[in-house]
Amino acid sequence: MSTVLKRFSLVGVAALFTVSAVGCGTGPAKAGSAAIVGGQTINLETVQERTITVLKKEPAAQQMQDQGKLDQVSRLVLADEITHKIAEHAAQRENITVDETKVYDAVQEKGGPEAAAKQSEQDATTIYRRQRDVLVMGELAKRNLSTLEVVIDFFQSKDPKEAKEKAAEVAADPSKMSRFIQEAPRTTGGQQASATNQRVRVTENPSLVHTTLWGVKPGTVVAFPADEQQSSWMVALVKERNRVSPVPGEDDLAERIDPRLLAAFGLRIAQFHAADLEIEVNPRYGVWDPTDATVVGNTGERAGFVGVTATKNKS
């Protein structure tokens, strides 16, 4: 993960800044729009112009164009625009004002705008906005790191296809969760890889800091890789989202945690605040992937599952 940038590679684009919003529209966007986020339009022209800028400055992007992969560059640019809308909305909801001096200083510490934007979808202009968004996410993380708790029912699966399919089944019929929990395989140590009413905090479960657990409202089902190797997947029904008292010694935790993880957690919090915003992507670009907070070609390419339960939709 990266606190500011998504890096290019010669064989594809690695979306390293992982995060989530619940909305994921797939219908046709308004004419002239690349996406619509909560009623706000991201202009097609904006994405096209930024894509051209990236092609001019990034050799890797030029190679991707030669390989017929220009759509990957455009999707990365669009994902950045959508993520900005999410961060902007969260900042308004939480009354966060960023010190512009800190934005400027952060960019200068990386060698100035051109150097800071190198090997990314950013340019000398957008890099300041991106850094501003990162500071917003950092503040969101600090406010929630030691005080946020979610209560979940969960089970694990070694098969990503099975995990996504069962998550979709639970979203359609939450009563199926109890059966899936009972049927969940045991760990190598013989323990049941499932539980009900499990209380989860980042401070006690640091491996989950970047996951969609923190970016959704109660009544949402999520499925995501439980480890970096994706050898195990977690399917969870988020039942509660509580504010708890920090444990003694956690007051300065935000200063000690890896800044990249802090930013990833902050983006999840931003996505929670934007959970009610419908995200509608122009079909020419694909669909929004809430698990990786990026744009992918089709629903089958999504990195996980996020869905509001049928009972929650009716309420």
pLDDT digits (tens, 9 = 90+) for 116-141: 999 999 999 999 999 999 999 999 99
- pLDDT score of 28 more than 60: no
pLDDT digits (tens, 9 = 90+) for 68-110: 888 999 999 999 999 999 999 999 999 999 999 999 999 999 9
In this predicted model, what pLDDT tens digit does every residue of 193-229 receive, in sequence order?
A: 899 999 999 988 988 999 999 999 999 999 999 887 7
216 class by beta-carbon count within 10 Å (0-12 exposed, 13-18 middle, 19+ buried):
buried
CATH of the domain at 292: 1.10.4030
Same domain membership, residue 137 and residue 15: yes
* Predicted pLDDT of residue 31: 74
Q: How many CA atoms lie within 13 A of 11 on its CB side?
A: 0
Residues 283 and 182 in one domain: no
Which residue in 148, 163, 245, 270 sits closest to 200, CA to CA?
148
Residue 108 shares a structural domain with residue 197: no
Q: Looking at the structure, do residues 117 and 22 belong to the same domain, yes or no? A: yes
Q: Choose from 8-22, 35-49, 182-196 the range with maximum mean pLDDT.
A: 35-49
Residue 1 domain-assigned (yes or no): no
The total number of structural domains that make up the chain: 2
- Residue 188 has a pLDDT of 67
Whether 12 shows a pLDDT value over 60: the answer reads no
The two tokens of residue 150 are 């979610």
Model pLDDT for residues 269-307, shown as the tens digit of each residue? 999 999 999 999 999 999 999 999 999 999 999 999 999
Beta pairing, strands 287-289 & 294-296: antiparallel
Whether residue 128 is found in the same domain as residue 48: yes
Strand ranges in the chain using DSSP code E only, listed in sequence order: 8-9, 12-13, 33-37, 40-43, 148-157, 194-201, 220-225, 233-243, 279-281, 287-289, 294-296, 305-308
Residue with tokens 């999410």: 86
- pLDDT category, 312, cuts 50, 70, 90? low
CATH for 250:
3.10.50
- Residue 105 belongs to domain spanning: 8-144+277-302
Token pair of 172 as six digits: 């359609």
**Which one, of 83, 314, 307, lies nearest residue 217 by Cα?**
307
79 lies in the same domain as 122? yes
Alpha-carbon gap, residue 12 to 67, rounded angstroms: 10
Kindly state whether residues 228 and 239 are assigned to the same domain: yes
The span from the CA of 41 to the CA of 31, in Å, is 10
- What are φ and ψ of residue 19, in 5° steps? -175, -170
Say yes or no to pLDDT of 29 above 80.
no
